[in-house]
Amino acid sequence: MDYFKTAPNFMWGVATAANQVEGGWDEDGKGMSIADCMRYRPKIDTNDYQAVNQMDSHEIELALADHSTKGWAKRHGVDFYHRYREDIKLLAATGINTYRFSISWARIFPNGDDTEPNQAGLDFYLAIVKELAKYHITPVVTLSHYEMPLNLVLKYDSWYDRRVIDYFERYAKTVIDYLHQYVQYWIPINEIDSIIRHPFSSAGLVADRFPEDNFKTVTYQAMHHQFIAAAKVVAYCHQNYPKMQVGSMITRTMVYPYNSDPDNVLAATQTMRDVYAFSDIQVRGRYPAFLLEKLTADGIKIKFGSNDKKLLAENTADFVTFSYYSSICTASDTTGLPVTKANRTIGVYNQYLPESEWGWQIDPVGLRLSLIDLYDRYQKPLFIVENGLGAVDELGPDLRVHDTYRISYLRQHIRQMLIAIANDGVELMGYCIWGTTDMISASSNQMSKRYGLIFVDLDDNGDGTYNRYLKDSYYWYQQLLSYGTQIPVNYLQEADTKLQCS
């Protein structure tokens, strides 16, 4: 085989999130969001995700009292709010045909429970999709990506209160109606499973606001309300805009057994079932029996509305999206085993894989395995909406970033993806690199953990010019996309198959 072939409508793109790039946190009527409460705290180990993402009422009070952007990285982002035309023009020049981005709920309904939307916010996103249309780029829009209005936390305890479903539905309908001429693909909630790992950034849940409750019960009840809200988005799109498609999304970290011990194989299987449960609900339209049994055993009882089961069953996702960065191992007894990091989680170290500077183990074959597993499970179109490498990049005297390590990462993962299409019968809609320009890291609130194809002159303290500079990976992706539907196999080969980061 000399070429990897893709369908003419394959969606090659890039992806980002409003809270990580936009800035303009208090401009043009935008309300304060939960992301605006996340500080960069250099004294905390950035690999300690629980500590980095921990939020309590005192932290929120500090955020409310401080109206500056210094130290509050997601308040300034990388100034996409004012530079979106420049950024989209640079990205369009790579040859992408797809751009995944999210809408800030607090930019549309500043308090979340407002009766009327903020027109300036609607017009901002309309300007973005019109700019994308100018370059024949298809938008894929996420409605909630770690940025719900803070007022919903303070007034309603966030997604735990069922009324928030109605507020989200109003927000979603408003945005869908306003952008319907330009947007066909929607994702209601980013990585819906992440509420279990980081309940504040995902769903605005603050443990100390529930002193009398089992916080695990609170978390699963909030999760249920997110599922109902997502199903309502599916129902609204299908009833009012039949050509629209609505996807589900999970975090897909590949999990292997530490060795061939059957107990360890079972532990890995159980871990993966826990992840799949979240897509099962959205794709199959019901809670899997094992999850209900597990919740019962843990003393957790989810309160269902009278129509909830019917709503879930009748409004399943049209396609399945996921993020993929790395893999981990697990065992029935992890005592004394070496630990590694992944996308806001931890696991047992895999001796056969290299790791990034942030300790994420790099596993291109794991992406192929993920595609096979997901497609065999659901038999619905898949979409990789996040895949990329966070690394420290240095701008050279030639005003370029020579990120050969990122090119190697992308090359190996894209190769495995194309093999899955060619050999494994996987129906794949598209692939988006995370991210676009550099942006504030979701997992560590750092700028120095860079993912973009375009370097942004900004440091962890928020100092810099915000100027953009193209990386070598930008040109590599541009060349890849220039091949169209037939990508030479040798373009995705390299002598050293073991990726090393700088």
How does pLDDT run across 288-307, given as a tens digit for each residue? 999 999 999 999 999 999 99
Whether 118 contacts 34, CB under 8 Å:
no
| Whether residue 374 has pLDDT greater than 80 | yes
**Which residues are known to be catalytic?**
191, 386
Q: Is 233 helix (H, G, I), strand (E, B) or coil?
A: helix
pLDDT for position 499: 41
Q: Which of 38-52, 232-246, 322-336, 391-405 has the lowest mean pLDDT?
A: 38-52
The CA distance from 219 to 198, in Å, is 10
pLDDT for position 100: 98
Tell me what the mean pLDDT of segment 438-458 comes to.
95
Of the candidates 34, 55, 35, 33, the one whose C-alpha atom is nearest the C-alpha of residue 44 is 55
Q: What share of the chain in percent tops pLDDT 70?
A: 98
CA 463 to chain centre: 26
pLDDT for position 496: 42
pLDDT for position 495: 53
Residue 89: Cβ within 10 Å count: 12
The full DSSP string for 85-142 is HHHHHHHHTTT--EEEEE--HHHHSTTSS-SS--HHHHHHHHHHHHHHHHTT-EEEEE
Q: Which residue in the block uniquely carries the two structure tokens 């930019």?
A: 107
| Whether residue 209 has pLDDT greater than 80 | yes
Alpha-carbon torsion angle 281, 416, 15, 475, nearest 10: 180
pLDDT for position 248: 98
Query: For the segment 343-371, what is each residue's pLDDT rounded down to a tens digit?
Result: 667 899 999 999 998 889 999 999 999 99
DSSP class of residue 489?
G
Q: Which residue in the block uniquely carries the two structure tokens 């966030």?
A: 158
DSSP class of residue 42?
T
Whether 447 contacts 440, CB under 8 Å:
yes
Looking only at the bridges linking them, the beta strands covering 468-470 and 454-456 are: antiparallel
Of the candidates 186, 312, 180, the one whose C-alpha atom is nearest the C-alpha of residue 241 is 180
pLDDT for position 43: 79
| Whether residue 377 has pLDDT greater than 90 | yes
Of the candidates 45, 32, 109, the one whose C-alpha atom is nearest the C-alpha of residue 74 is 32
pLDDT band at 308 (very low <50, low <70, confident <90, very high): very high
pLDDT for position 500: 41
Residue 363: Cβ within 10 Å count: 28
pLDDT for position 111: 98
pLDDT for position 54: 82
pLDDT for position 265: 97
Q: What is the average pLDDT value for the chain, to the nearest integer? A: 95
Whether 417 contacts 428, CB under 8 Å:
yes
Of the candidates 176, 175, 174, 151, the one whose C-alpha atom is nearest the C-alpha of residue 163 is 151
Tell me what the mean pLDDT of segment 370-384 comes to.
98
The CA distance from 115 to 28, in Å, is 18
pLDDT for position 439: 97
The CA distance from 7 to 334, in Å, is 44
Whether 15 contacts 432, CB under 8 Å:
yes
The CA distance from 258 to 55, in Å, is 33
| Whether residue 501 has pLDDT greater than 80 | no
pLDDT for position 444: 86
Of the candidates 88, 99, 142, the one whose C-alpha atom is nearest the C-alpha of residue 434 is 99
pLDDT for position 130: 98
Q: 111 Cβ partners below 8 Å, 6+ apart? A: 31, 149, 151, 152
| Whether residue 319 has pLDDT greater than 60 | yes
Predicted TM-score (pTM) of this structure: 0.96
pLDDT band at 36 (very low <50, low <70, confident <90, very high): very high
Give me the phi and psi of 238, to 5 degrees please.
-65, -35
Whether 22 contacts 422, CB under 8 Å:
no
Q: 408 Cβ partners below 8 Å, 6+ apart? A: 494, 496, 499, 500
pLDDT for position 50: 72
Query: For the segment 85-129, what is each residue's pLDDT rounded down to a tens digit?
Result: 999 999 999 999 999 999 999 999 999 999 999 999 999 999 999
| Whether residue 174 has pLDDT greater than 60 | yes
pLDDT band at 340 (very low <50, low <70, confident <90, very high): confident
Q: Which of 36-45, 59-68, 116-125, 256-265 has the lowest mean pLDDT?
A: 36-45
CA 178 to chain centre: 24
